[in-house]
């Protein structure tokens, strides 16, 4: 089966590399908007009760001003570090923690701010996946083949395929009617793990059983985002599936991107045998 969008993807830099790809710009733009909103709210919170605070203690407005000001500086420093990590593609000293803050706190906040500015949820999700990938790559993780897991959605399998691959992907007959064939070939070539999950619960069970060091996951925006959040702090590199036949039906994946991701995380080159 032809791999549809390979020519559109930049080689090996995995979706835009360190440049400010449009998806990343959305995320950073929303982040800056959130900062400004937060700064405005904090300033109001400080200023409105200003007179009342003076009545309690004349120095109270100054103390609260310092606290709120420090909060704003902290948020700005976080945004600055995040932007720098994305642009440089390097593991700045707190980028691992930064990913945690983004996954747990910033992303849900940005969905709300995005709605406020008319940016649809799917675009914010795509942007979040991109930023997450950049931070995962910035960690320069290197793992043994058996510690890399390719986690795939069941909708990649051809709808009329009689073979059951959820328990064991090796059951695939490699007929080429769907991209499972190509994924099995990548798994065999690099000796990395490959699993197909029918849902979040099964995916979690596979992760617990296989204990990977890093996951390359393929899914739609919604499933990838929830997977990234559920699996944190485990690093997950997310690749969006293609849905030429509509959602959840005979979906496809850019096999080159999967292979590039495997190469990026692999500690050793595959043997030629």
Q: Does 175 bind ligand SF4 (CB under 6 A)?
A: yes
Taking the least distance from each CB to ligand SF4, the nearer of 164 and 211 is: 164
Q: Does 166 bind ligand SF4 (CB under 6 A)?
A: no
Residue for token pair 């032809």: 2
Out of 37, 158, 232, 263, the only residue in the binding site for ligand SF4 (CB under 6 A) is 158
- Coarse DSSP helix, strand, coil percentages of the chain, rounded to the nearest 5 percent: 60, 10, 35
Taking the least distance from each CB to ligand SF4, the nearer of 102 and 165 is: 165
User: Shortest gap between Cβ of 203 and ligand SF4 (angstroms)?
Assistant: 18
Alpha-carbon distance 220 to 105, whole Å?
21
Out of 177, 191, 204, 243, the only residue in the binding site for ligand SF4 (CB under 6 A) is 177
Closest residue to ligand SF4, judged by C-beta, is: 161
Q: Does 46 bind ligand SF4 (CB under 6 A)?
A: no
Taking the least distance from each CB to ligand SF4, the nearer of 184 and 206 is: 184
Q: Does 249 bind ligand SF4 (CB under 6 A)?
A: no
| DSSP E strand boundaries for the chain | 148-153, 193-197, 214-219, 236-240
Alpha-carbon distance 246 to 182, whole Å?
21
Alpha-carbon distance 127 to 224, whole Å?
12
Out of 176, 199, 200, 247, the only residue in the binding site for ligand SF4 (CB under 6 A) is 176
Q: Which residues contact 270 (CB under 8 A, 6 or more apart)?
A: 145, 189, 190, 191
Q: Does 181 bind ligand SF4 (CB under 6 A)?
A: yes
Taking the least distance from each CB to ligand SF4, the nearer of 140 and 159 is: 159
Q: Does 178 bind ligand SF4 (CB under 6 A)?
A: yes
Alpha-carbon distance 62 to 26, whole Å?
36
Alpha-carbon distance 203 to 195, whole Å?
9
Taking the least distance from each CB to ligand SF4, the nearer of 167 and 233 is: 167
Half-sphere exposure of residue 129, counting CA atoms within 13 Å on the CB side? Answer: 25
Stretch that binds ligand SF4, among 22-30, 43-51, 173-181, 187-195 (CB under 6 A): 173-181
DSSP-assigned letters across all residues of 95-154: HHHHHHHIIIIIHHHHHHHHHHTT--HHHHHHHHHHHHHHHHHHTT--B-GGGEEEEEEG
Taking the least distance from each CB to ligand SF4, the nearer of 74 and 175 is: 175
Q: Which residues bind ligand SF4 (CB under 6 A)?
A: 157-158, 161, 163, 165, 172-178, 180-181
């Amino acid at each position: 089966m032809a791999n549809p969008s390979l020519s559109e993807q930049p080689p090996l830099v995995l979706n835009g590399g360190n440049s400010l790809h449009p998806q990343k710009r959305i995320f950073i733009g929303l982040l800056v908007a959130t900062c400004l909103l937060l700064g405005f709210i904090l300033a109001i919170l400080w200023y409105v009760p200003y007179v009342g605070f003076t009545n309690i203690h004349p120095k109270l407005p100054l103390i609260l001003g310092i606290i709120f000001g420090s909060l704003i500086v902290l948020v700005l420093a976080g945004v600055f570090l995040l932007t720098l990590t994305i642009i440089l593609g390097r593991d700045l000293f707190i980028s691992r923690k930064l990913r945690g803050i983004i996954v747990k706190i910033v992303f849900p906040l940005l969905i709300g701010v995005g709605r406020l500015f008319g940016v649809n949820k799917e675009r914010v999700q795509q942007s979040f996946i991109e930023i997450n990938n950049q931070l995962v790559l910035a960690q320069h993780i290197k793992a043994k083949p058996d510690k890399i897991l390719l986690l795939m959605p069941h909708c990649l399998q051809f709808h009329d395929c009689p073979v059951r691959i959820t328990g064991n992907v090796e059951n695939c007959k490699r007929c080429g009617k769907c991209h499972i064939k190509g994924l099995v070939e990548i798994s065999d070539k690099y000796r990395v793990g490959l699993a197909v999950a029918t849902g979040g619960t099964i995916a979690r069970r596979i992760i617990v059983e296989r204990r990977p060091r890093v996951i390359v996951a393929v899914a739609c925006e919604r499933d990838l985002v929830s997977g990234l959040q559920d699996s944190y702090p485990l690093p997950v590199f997310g690749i969006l599936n293609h849905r030429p036949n509509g959602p959840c039906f005979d979906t496809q994946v850019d096999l080159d991107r999967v292979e590039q991701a495997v190469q990026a995380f692999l500690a050793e080159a595959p043997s030629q045998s």
